[in-house]
Amino acid sequence: MSKIKTALISVSDKSGLVELGAALNSFGIKILSTGGSAKTLKEADIDVIEVSDHTGFPEMLDGRVKTLNPIIHGGILAKRDSDDHMRTLKDHNIETIDLVIINLYPFVKTIENPNSTYEDAIENIDIGGPAMIRSSAKNHKDVTIVTSPDDYQSLIDELNKNNGEVSFDLKKEFALKAFEHTSNYDQAIFQYLQNDNNVCDKFPQNISIHLEKSMDMRYGENPHQQAAFYKHKTNYAGALSNFNQIQGKELSFNNLNDAENAWECVKNMSASSCVIVKHANPCGVAMADKPKEAYLRAFMTDPTSAFGGIIAFNSNVDGETAEEINKQFAEIIIAPSFSEDALNIFDSKKNLRVLEISNKAGSDDFDFKKIGGGFLIQTPDQIDFDINACEVVSELKPNQDQLNDMSFAWHVAQYVKSNAIIFCKDNMTLGVGAGQMSRVDSTRIAAIKAENANLDLTNSVVASDAFFPFRDGIDVLAKFGAKCVIQPGGSVRDDEVIEAANELGLVMLFTKVRHFKH
């Protein structure tokens, strides 16, 4: 180790800058600085030398060029144990720089401002900063690089501990953070330009995923698996990743996996709605005038499966709703807000996880599915749906109540694993058949679920996420009392399926849209 003699400071975020400058001055460290940083230090009566005075070159091109100078980068990059490097510095009258404090132009903050322009974004792409960070991090054996105000105190503590010196281990740790910092910065720029439709196709040749660790999970899908949750750097409105955990024990991998489906299903429903999810499938969904009624109707669909489920609402959860929920065992409650009474009631169950999420509209740009050695990437399964634009292919025509129920059923079908069959009536699920290899088996399972819950399927509607390949599924659902079917259509046997609907006195609608979910 060797004592730090000269530091260079150039920061956009000036948090803690004055305190840091004072500490460096106390160790007798000479401070070089640029524009705004130098001004802040001078106003605090901290000794500082402007970089332009140090290099003999003024800042130019509206500040675009100020540290891109061999006197700066030579002082940073020179290897102190190289006689040739040190001789070169002496020949050109270049001083070594031992400590670099840098954080970059606020590019991300700029583009998050809805009023920012393309020109604003471009001007906030830092050039000199990343160059100095990379120079310092490359030469971390001799140079300490700090890129976050969060690390200022660690630096000061280290200088106090080692009489003005920094250990190699801490230099290496700071260097790792520095390369992470520039990587994240470049990724944000890449992502911004990639999303400009005038620059890239929808699926560009290269896609980079920019994630940061949010938390460790209790475990993965099984207790012997480890897991962590990483958030996308882009803050998508209404996304599950924006949750605020109000109470409860640590979340597991399965908790968030199930919570994602519950939240996506419920957040954009129109009336007060409740979704109960178990093992990534909705087992009960309902709309009502009040959240309590919506919950009770959703629970009624399949009380057995609802045990230990994820319960999501699209409206405020009040005290009377919380009292009903507390009669059962639930893993997670999700809602955009909770009344004080509700939170007091939930507090009696310390392990119950309560998550608050804004239900503003929004979605990710892409949907990723991991396969061995790569990813399958697609756009989200989102499409504007108008029940009145569907094709009525049966002889019987639907009334308005049937149309409303089919619209509700079709929405639920989007969030049930294929093959998906959903019986509904009066904006409530009656039976859900999910994840079967045969669509007719899903139909039978949905009917069995309704029977087990003592729910009458007479005059119900059925939604199928994909077409019926044969008439057998139609025969089964009609046998249990359904009177309407909404499905994509598109089978080579559509005529046979339509004929079955007419024979059995069913209304049938074709959406011409499929909602497979694997």
Residue 105 banded pLDDT, cuts 50, 70, 90: confident
Based on the number of CB atoms within 10 Å of its own CB, is 269 exposed (0-12), middle (13-18) or buried (19 or more)?
Answer: buried
Cα torsion 95, 100, 104, 105: sign: negative
Type of residue numbered 205: Q
Query: What b/e string do you get for 270-297 counting C-beta neighbours within 10 Å, with b at 16 or more?
Result: eebbbbbbbbbbbbbbbbbeebbbbbbb
Phi, psi at residue 398, to the nearest 5°? -80, 150
**CB 389 within 8 Å of CB 383:** no
Q: Where are the beta strands (DSSP E) in 189-306?
A: 211-216, 228-232, 244-247, 272-278, 281-288
Our measurement of the distance from residue 134's CA atom to the centroid of its chain's CA atoms, rounded to an integer in Å, reads: 29
Low-confidence winner among 45-59, 99-113, 458-472 (lowest mean pLDDT): 45-59
Which range, 78-92, 220-234, 404-418, has the best average confidence (pLDDT)?
Answer: 404-418
**Does residue 3 have a pLDDT over 90?**
no
Mean pLDDT is lowest, of 148-157, 365-374, 492-501, for: 365-374
Weakest mean pLDDT among 150-159, 181-190, 223-232: 181-190
Q: Residues of the chain with pLDDT > 90: what percent?
A: 54
Q: Do domains 6-194 and 216-230+238-356 have the same CATH topology?
A: no
Q: Report the candidate in 337, 344, 140, 118 with the shortest Cα–Cα distance to residue 244.
A: 337
417 DSSP assignment = P
Confidence (pLDDT) at 139: 92
pLDDT band for position 469 (cuts 50, 70, 90) = very high
User: Domain boundaries in the chain?
Assistant: 6-194, 216-230+238-356, 387-510
Give the span between the Cα atoms of 263 and 432, in whole angstroms: 18
pTM greater than 0.85 (yes/no): no
Nearest to 151 by CA among 2, 11, 38: 11
Rounded (5°) CA angle 408-410-413: 115
3-class secondary structure per residue, 445-467:
HHHHHHHHCCCCCCCCEEEECCC
Q: Which residues contact 495 (CB under 8 A, 6 or more apart)?
A: none
Mean pLDDT of 3-21: 87
Using an 8 Å Cβ cutoff, are 365 and 482 in contact?
no
Give the Å distances, CA to CA, from 329 to 217, 296, 315: 21, 14, 21
Percent of the chain residues topping a pLDDT of 70: 95
Angle (nearest 5°) at CA 198 between 194 and 204: 40
| pLDDT tens-digit series, residues 151-184 | 989 999 888 888 888 889 999 999 999 998 888 8
> Phi/psi class of residue 118: alpha, beta or left (left: φ > 0; alpha: ψ in -120 to 50)?
alpha
Q: What is the mean pLDDT of residues 384-393?
A: 93
Residue 422 CB burial class (10 angstroms; 0-12, 13-18, ≥19): buried
Task: Give domain 216-230+238-356's CATH number out of 3.40.50.10490, 3.40.50.300, 3.40.140.20, 3.20.20.70.
Answer: 3.40.140.20
- CA distances to 30, 364, 418, 430 from 518, in Å: 61, 18, 6, 22
| Residue with more model confidence, 221 or 203 | 221
Task: Give every CB contact of residue 5 below 8 A, 6+ residues apart in sequence.
Answer: 29, 30, 96, 98
Nearest CA to 238 out of 309, 185, 312, 293 is that of 312
Q: How far apart are CA 494 and CA 389, in angstroms?
A: 19
Banded pLDDT at 64 (limits 50, 70, 90): low
* Third-level CATH fold of 387-510: Cytidine Deaminase; domain 2 (3.40.140)
Phi-psi region of 337 (alpha: psi -120 to 50; beta: other; left: phi over 0): beta
Q: Which region among 190-204, 315-329, 479-493 has the lowest average model confidence (pLDDT)? A: 190-204
Burial group, residue 218, by CB count within 10 angstroms (0-12, 13-18, 19+): middle
pLDDT grade for 201, boundaries at 50, 70 and 90: low
Under a CB-based contact definition with an 8 Å cutoff, are residues 513 and 488 in contact?
yes
Confidence (pLDDT) at 10 = 87
pLDDT tens-digit series, residues 288-338: 999 999 999 999 999 999 999 999 999 999 999 999 999 999 999 999 999
Alpha-carbon Rg for the chain, nearest whole angstrom, is 31
In CATH, the number for domain 6-194 is 3.40.50.1380
Catalytic residues: 138, 279
d(CA 157, CA 152): 9
Contact 491, 439 (CB under 8 A): no
